[in-house]
Amino acid sequence: MRQSRALPYILISPSLALILAFVFYPTLYGFQLSFMRMIPLTGEFEFAGLENYSALLGARELWESARVTLFFGVQYVAVVIILGFALALIMNRKPRAMGLYMTLIFVPWVLSDVVASIIWRILFNQQIGIIELTMRNFPFWPKLGLITTPQGALWVMVLLGLWRGLPFAMLLLLAGLQTISRELIEAARIDGASSWRAFFSVTLPLMRSQALVLLLLASIGAVNAAATFLAVTQGGPGRYTEVLGLFLYRTGFQFFRIDHGSTIAVMMFLINLSLTLVYLRAFRSEYRL
């Protein structure tokens, strides 16, 4: 570490300027817009107090979207953690050709929102979808196609999220598993613990911080999902898969209600913030122990 007066500030100033102007300021500006009313036609704004908030909180659409987001989030986060863990445990056995397997598993992670959405629409297409047509032989499968029913469409989106989110979840947990020394587990085994017991009493507790990071990242990802919903279901059938993010996009850019859209954005920001704080709290008590 060196002492220097001006140089470090000169070095960080371009970064700081860009971040302040295009990451930090927009957040504040968004708050400001949420307290403004948009004057039709002129596109100018005037102060409106909490008008947007009361209008939105009184609207059924917001609560419907919040409910769908919650459903989606809970299903996605729970399954991605469980499957991610299972996959990490498997990969932790360090099979030969590990590099090849990892590369293949990571393919969906590389795809963009729109490309992944196109692929998903083809798989679940009512006329030609390979998954759709294969599964239609089962009695529980909706006759008109999974994507046409409210719960089915949401499952299609959960599956899409899993397909794309699983590689990263696995990687994160695998990195955690690899920090646990073999000796610790062997010591438990020598003391007479079964391999299940060793897993639950040694491995799992040591993985809590990785699991928390994953929980945080996956829930933030789920709360802010919008692009794939726009490209796969467009919120349908009806509004049943119109998650908060899509509701925000629609309000702001299809109904051109910048003021209401900003208000939804602020609400989503607060949801994100509280999720982060809750998890960070859990973290801190983790380290104190």
Partner 1 sequence: MSAQPARALPVRPVVRQTAISTIVRRTIGRGLLHLLIIAVCWIMVFPVLWTVSTSFKLEPDIMRYPPVWIPNPATLEGYRSVVEDGRLFRYITNTFILSGTSMVITVLVASLAGYAFSRFRFAGRDLILLFILATVLIPGLTQLIPLYQMIKVMGLLNTYQGLIIIYAAHGLPFTIWILKSFFDAVPIELEEAAMIDGCTPVQALARVILPISAPGLMAASVLNFVGHWNEFLTALVFTSKDEMRNVSVGLYNYLGWYGSVYNRISAAALLVIVPVLILFFIGRKNFVQGMVEGALKG
In Å, what is the CA distance from 145 to each residue of 85, 118, 142, 180? 31, 17, 5, 45
Cβ atoms < 10 Å from Cβ of 137: 7
Window 148-187: residues binding partner 1 (CB under 8 A): 163, 166-168, 171-172, 175, 183, 187
Exactly one of 37, 51, 113, 193 binds partner 1 (CB under 8 A); that residue is 113
Q: In this structure, are residues 221 and 270 in contact, taking their beta carbons and an 8 Å threshold?
A: no
Stretch that binds partner 1, among 99-107, 141-149, 150-158, 200-208 (CB under 8 A): 99-107
CB of 89 to partner 1, least distance (A): 11
Q: Which stretch binds partner 1 (CB under 8 A): 54-62, 149-157, 199-207, 269-277?
A: 269-277
154 vs 244 by CB, closer to partner 1: 244
Please state the closest distance from residue 168 (CB atom) to partner 1, in A.
7
Q: Within 10 A of 81 (CB to CB), how many other CB atoms are there?
A: 17
For position 227 contacting partner 1 by CB under 8 A, the verdict is yes
Positive or negative CA dihedral for 50, 51, 55, 56? Answer: negative
* Binding positions for partner 1, 39-58, rule CB under 8 A: none
Provide the terminal-to-terminal Cα distance of the chain, rounded to the nearest Å.
32
How many residues form the binding site for partner 1 (CB under 8 A)? 90
According to CB under 8 A, which residues from 58 to 97 bind partner 1? 87, 90-91, 93, 95
Query: Which residues have C-beta within 8 Å of that of residue 140, sequence separation ≥ 6?
Result: none
Provide the token pair at 17.
Answer: 């300027």
255 binds partner 1 (CB under 8 A): no
Identify whether the C-beta of residue 234 lies closer than 8 Å to the C-beta of residue 250.
Answer: no
Does 107 help bind partner 1 (rule: CB under 8 A)?
Answer: yes
Rg (CA), the chain: 23
Considering only residues 141, 155, 269, 283, which one is a binding residue for partner 1 as defined by CB under 8 A? 269
Binding flag, residue 278, partner 1 (CB under 8 A)? no
**Which candidate, 115, 126, 71, places its Cα nearest to that of 227?**
115
Distance between CA 106 and CA 102 in Å, rounded? 6
Residues 85, 77: Cα–Cα separation, whole Å: 12
How many angstroms separate the CA atoms of 195 and 138, rounded? 38
Based on CB atoms, which residue is closest to partner 1, 50 or 277?
277
**Residue of 84, 145, 235, 252 that binds partner 1 (CB under 8 A):** 252
Write down the least CB distance from residue 59 to partner 1, Å. 18
> Of the ranges 47-55, 58-66, 118-126, 140-148, which one interacts with partner 1 (CB under 8 A)?
118-126
Interacting residue with partner 1 among 213, 236, 237, 283 (CB under 8 A): 213
